[in-house]
Amino acid sequence: MRTINYGKAISEAMHEEMLRDESVFILGEDMGVMGSVFGLTRGFMAEFGADRVIDTPISENGFVGMAVGAAIRGLRPVVELMYVDFAPLALDQIANQAAKMRYMTGGKVKVPLVVRAPGGAGRRNAAQHSQSLDALFTHIPGLKVVAPATPFDAKGLLKSAIRDDDPVVFLEHKFCYAMQGEVPEEEYVVPLGKADIKRPGRDVTIVAWSRQVIFALEAAKTLAAEGIEAEVVDIRSLVPLDFETISASVRKTHKVVVVHEAIKRGGYGAEIAAQIMEELFDWLDAPVKRVAGLNVVIPFSPALEDAVFPHVPEIVAGVKEVVR
């Protein structure tokens, strides 16, 4: 199987869906002439034209609102927010319009909209360009939320998101764009709402998503050398959440560590931990452990930035605390 990077996988997903369905179009800041700030749409404007690859003004509320309207009228817009940090500027359109429209019209109006939102720390982009706002979107009924960790999942999930009739917030970690992985050349999709066991194990379950899956897999290797076999569950889809896969893993290992990059307070990991405690309490041999970011603004200093979100050593330490 060929190997491509995460960014190329996302680019291919958009390109293939635009070829497959003329109702698909993309828009956002610098998406056309520049080919997006991360280079994911280079050549798209020349191939598809300015009607389907739209450079927008710096007005998230405006162009996301335009996309919501287009989706209501039957098109399938794919919006890029240059950074997820800018999502609050368009939150009224995302939370009060896109997320609620299908319910408020009794199902008569669909909003097949994808909002791509690069986020995450580690690139020295400082406080206003480095956040992880996963929990914000998961708290809004009507939105589907996905956060792929690998190129294979990024392409397959984005294709599914574009074809879905509900609004999907597609969270991409900026640090993953250069990450290589196997991706088939033939057509495939990854269904929304289905987790994936990235590594089987018997002693402890590590639940993670986005870049933390990569760290969790490295941590599992370290732990295996010490005789601890960790099962790594990549939820991939935050909403809908595949709790059945999590449950099956917990019933096997009886110990759980939930890992995410966003700050610990109010993080989505707390929701997963609460569900496990409520529904699987009798299967647990230890309390659910959360390993997450510190409750601080992301610093610009490289040393400080690296200290505020989990890496492999923090995950290893968290697992050992639960297992021993």
Mean pLDDT by 10 residues, the chain (324 residues): 97 98 98 93 97 97 98 98 97 98 97 97 91 97 98 98 98 96 98 98 98 98 98 98 98 98 98 98 98 96 95 98 94
Rounded CA separation 316/310 (Å): 10
Catalytic site residue 305?
Answer: no
Judged by DSSP in three states, 296 sits in coil
- pLDDT, position 123: 85
Domain residue ranges of the chain, discontinuous segments joined by +:
3-182, 196-323
Pairing, β 196-199 against β 180-182:
unpaired
The answer for residues whose C-beta is within 8 angstroms of residue 227's C-beta and 6 or more apart is: none
Q: Which of 129, 173, 260, 261 is catalytic?
A: 129
Catalytic site residue 185?
Answer: no
Locate tokens 């914000």: which residue? 136
The answer for residues whose C-beta is within 8 angstroms of residue 304's C-beta and 6 or more apart is: none
Strand partners for 79? 27, 115
Q: Which of 60, 80, 261, 305 is catalytic?
A: 60
Q: Quick one: fold of 196-323?
A: Rossmann fold (3.40.50)
By C-alpha distance, which of 80, 16, 66, 11 is closest to 39? 11
- pLDDT, position 324: 85
Which overall architecture, per CATH, does domain 3-182 show?
Answer: 3-Layer(aba) Sandwich (3.40)
Strand partners for 181? 4
Locate tokens 């817009």: which residue? 77
- pLDDT, position 138: 98
Matching fold, domains 3-182 and 196-323: yes
